[in-house]
Amino acid sequence: NYITTRNYNVIIMGHDNSRFKNLKNEKVFDYSSIRKDILDFFLIKNCYGYISDCTGLDYLAFALKKPMLLNSPFLNYFFNKHQKIIYILKNQYILNKNKQLNLKEMLYEYNTMFKVKSEFYENNKIMLQDNNPLEILEAYKQLESLIENNRCEKRIKNYSERFWSEYKKFLDDKKYREKNHYDSGPYPIIYDNIKLD
């Protein structure tokens, strides 16, 4: 609804045409029931910004160098070659310790930043918590600022720099093969909804 007040149309992509069936907004179009691959390409190529909760279409948006907001439980090291990307990471709650994990715990204790399969989280009693609509809206506003002003809030920028410093230190410590890729930058902006330590 916020995006449509900014005089943009919103096109819902993907295969699930039941997910947004109760949305009532004449500037929101759910084209999932008529989707075609060539239309996916055309729509993403011409979009103002791309918002996703991690799907295969992310690779197309990235290849087309579109501004991206990725609502994700993990980082995809592939997406760090242009600067108009913001990640809003999902919080991770460990059930047997009854607490939310911070970044250091995610990296050093549970290694969750590299796990994409839901079975891993289930087996380790880690619940992925969806980001709330207000957090996603605030992250989108940061993307909008990146698109229009080539910058985001200083608070977010500082957090993101601290996040990447911790993340790259972990890659060095563990000698991860992704290290060289990350060292080459640039780095996506990380929205500040996860505690670092």
pLDDT band, very low/low/confident/very high, at 196 (cuts 50, 70, 90): very high
Model confidence pLDDT, tens digit, residues 126-149:
999 999 999 999 999 999 999 999
Which pair of tokens denotes residue 178? 């992704």
**Mean pLDDT across 8-15:** 88
Q: Note the pLDDT of residue 80.
A: 65
Task: Indicate if the pLDDT at residue 2 is higher than 70.
Answer: yes
Model confidence pLDDT, tens digit, residues 84-110:
999 999 999 999 999 999 999 999 998
For residue 8, the SS3 value is coil
* Mean of pLDDT over the chain: 88
Q: Note the pLDDT of residue 173.
A: 84
Task: Indicate if the pLDDT at residue 178 is higher than 80.
Answer: no
Cα distance between residue 53 and residue 40, in whole Å: 16
Q: Note the pLDDT of residue 50.
A: 96
Contact 68, 84 (CB under 8 A): yes
Terminus-to-terminus CA distance in the chain, angstroms?
34
